[in-house]
Each structure stands twice: as C-alpha cells, then as structure tokens.
Amino acid sequence: MIIDCAIYENGVRRDGKVELEHAYDVRHEPGRFVWIGLYEPTEQEFDTLRREFDLHPLAVEDARHGHQRPKIEEYGDVLFVVLHMIETGETELRVGEVDVFVGRNFILSVRTGVEKGFRDVRARAEREPELLRRGPGYVLYALMDAVVDRYFPILQTIEVDLERIEEEIFAATSPRANIEALYVLKQRLMAFRHAVGPLLESLGNITGARVPGVCGGMQEYFRDIADHLQRLNQTIESIRDTASTAISVNLSMITLQESENMKRLAAYAALIAVPTLIVGIYGMNFDYMPELRWHYGYALVWGLMAAIDGYIFYRLRKARWL
C-alpha cells in the first residue's frame, strides 16, 4: 500500500499527491527527488519499484522476506537500510521492520508489522525546507532518527518494570512471580539488543572514512544517531546486567527465606517436643513414681512445662529464630 508519494524540489513539496508513474520520470531531473512511503507492499508493487528504480535483486529479496537484521548496505549507488521498529503490543513487544532504499534522486521506505508510520516525520521535514534541500540523505537521517527516538520510551518502561521487580525481590513476597518477570524482561530486552547492536555496527559504514555519496556532508547527523544508539546500548547493557544480578539475588533471597523458615519451624518444634517428652514421662506406669502421688503433681508439671517453654522461647527470640 502506498502511503504517500511526493516530489521535492529544492526542499519544497510539489503540490498534490503524485502518481507513481510520474514519480519515476521526475526522478531523473536534477535538484529533485522522490520520497515514497509504502506499507506492506504487494508482490506487484515490489516488482514495479525494483524495475523502475533499478534496485538490486538481493536487496529486494531481503525486503520482501523481512526478518532481516538491521543493516546498512551499499548496492552500487543505492543504499539499502534495514531498521527494526518496536511497539508495545498487548502482552509483549511487537517488532516490525522498515526497509529503506536511498538513491541519488529517490528514497523509498517499506514498513511492515507495526502500526505507527512516518507521517509526522514527513510533516516535520516539510516544515524545514532548508534541511530537506539536502536531498534523500537527509530524509534517511530523519527516518532513522525517528525510529531510534521511538526506542527510548519503550526501553524506559522496561527500566521501570525492573525497578518494580527489584523492590519486590527485597520484599521477598512473590519470588516465583519475580523469576518469571525477570525472565520475560530479559526476553523483551533481547528485541532491543537485536535492533540496536547491529545498527550501531553498520552505522560505521556511513560515518567513517569513506562515506557513500547519498550521505555526503551529513556525517555529523549520522554520528548523532550513532550517539543515541550508544546511549540505548548502554542502557540495555545496564538493564541486562542488573537483571542478571537480580535473578541471582532472588535465588539468594529464596534460600535465605527457606533458611529462616527452617529456623522458625525448628523453634516451634522445640516448643512442642520438650513438653511432649515431659508428659510422656508422667505417662509411664511404674509402681513407684512419687510425683504421681503428690496432690499438686499435675499442676507442677504444667508449671514446669510453662517454665521450660518460656525459657526456650526467650532464648530463641534472643537468637532471632522466632
């Protein structure tokens, strides 16, 4: 599905929505470029684009199949960029993909699997014609910047989740739920690692010594994206590290809890076992057991048991077993 297709001349959008056929013609005129946004295109649309813009079959193949790693690759003059988009779904994260083809006079973005598009990016870009004049390279920057900036709030919810779990770990109320939550959190984090890591690596290709033509004079902009990715990366690594520690701390807390329960259990056992022995003694049937004949024998036994249990209780309380 074609979302939008427009021709830009010196950074200004030509009026009205352009038909694809005209877009193809126009792109050969100097000082102009076409920006086409697609959402889950059909096989047919893919074919047309490939033919008209002379895209490399391997790149088109990648875009068609999806599930690529983020990457920035040169196919002759054309840059092929794969980005992961991450959205919060109902229960877990939804990972989509944008595949961008950038040529001298055109930029095509192919979005799949996520709802939010790039209308706002286009609108903002059109409000800044002096930047848009730089051509498709700037549009690529704007798209990447948008995609990367959208990672931050989602990653932040993961951070907030982790802090909540931490508190619960030390409260030690629901160790089982904590383990599961940490496990799920680590899985969700994986989506970010797969989105951020490879992209950061690939960015070296367009910020390093030899820069592809379409990104010429834009290094500082792409370096800025690299910087954002590095911040994300650092946050991801921190969360990962903390989550691992949290898992092992949780295990310590479980063991500790067990240890304390055992102490309490032992304490109560002592409080019952000793009187049980005493009453056993006076349940014996010896002919000659003077205490049994005493008038206050029974009461004395009660007193004895109370005294012993009192003492045991006092000792255990002091040792913090109770």
Residues 64-103 that bind a copy of itself (CB under 8 A): 67-69, 71, 73, 75
Of the two residues 39 and 321, which places its CB atom closer to a copy of itself in the complex?
Answer: 321
Q: Which spans in the chain are helix H?
A: 20-26, 43-53, 57-65, 119-126, 129-132, 136-171, 175-207, 219-281, 290-293, 297-318
Site for a copy of itself in 291-320 (CB under 8 A): 291-298, 301
Binds a copy of itself by CB under 8 A, chosen from 289, 304, 306, 307: 289
Q: Please give the size of the binding site for a copy of itself, defined by CB under 8 A.
A: 82
Q: Which of 202, 211, 217, 229 is nearest to 138 (CA)?
A: 217
* Residue 198, number of CB atoms within 10 A of its CB: 17
- Residue 288 burial (10 A CB sphere; 0-12, 13-18, 19+): exposed
Of the two residues 14 and 317, which places its CB atom closer to a copy of itself in the complex?
Answer: 317
Of the two residues 160 and 190, which places its CB atom closer to a copy of itself in the complex?
Answer: 190
End-to-end CA distance of the chain: 69
Smallest distance from a copy of itself to CB 168, Å: 13
Mark the segment that binds a copy of itself (CB under 8 A) among 19-27, 35-43, 116-124, 265-273: 265-273
**Does residue 270 touch a copy of itself according to CB under 8 A?**
yes
Site for a copy of itself in 126-185 (CB under 8 A): 166, 170, 175-176, 179-180, 183
CA 190 to CA 187: how far, in whole Å? 5
The edge-to-edge listing of strands for the beta sheet with 32-39 is 12-13, 2-9, 32-39, 106-112, 93-102, 78-88, 71-75
Smallest distance from a copy of itself to CB 308, Å: 11
Binding-residue pattern over the window 212 to 251 for a copy of itself, x denoting contact by CB under 8 A = --------xx-xx--x--xx--x---x--xx-xxxxxxxx
Smallest distance from a copy of itself to CB 103, Å: 16
Of the two residues 21 and 258, which places its CB atom closer to a copy of itself in the complex?
Answer: 258
Structure tokens at 191: 């989506």
Site for a copy of itself in 29-58 (CB under 8 A): 56, 58
CB contact at 8 A, 149 and 228: yes
**Does residue 281 touch a copy of itself according to CB under 8 A?**
yes
| Number of residues in the chain | 322
* Residue 219, number of CB atoms within 10 A of its CB: 14
DSSP-based three-state secondary structure for 60: helix
Structure tokens at 248: 């092992």
Smallest distance from a copy of itself to CB 65, Å: 11
Binds a copy of itself by CB under 8 A, chosen from 16, 43, 91, 288: 288
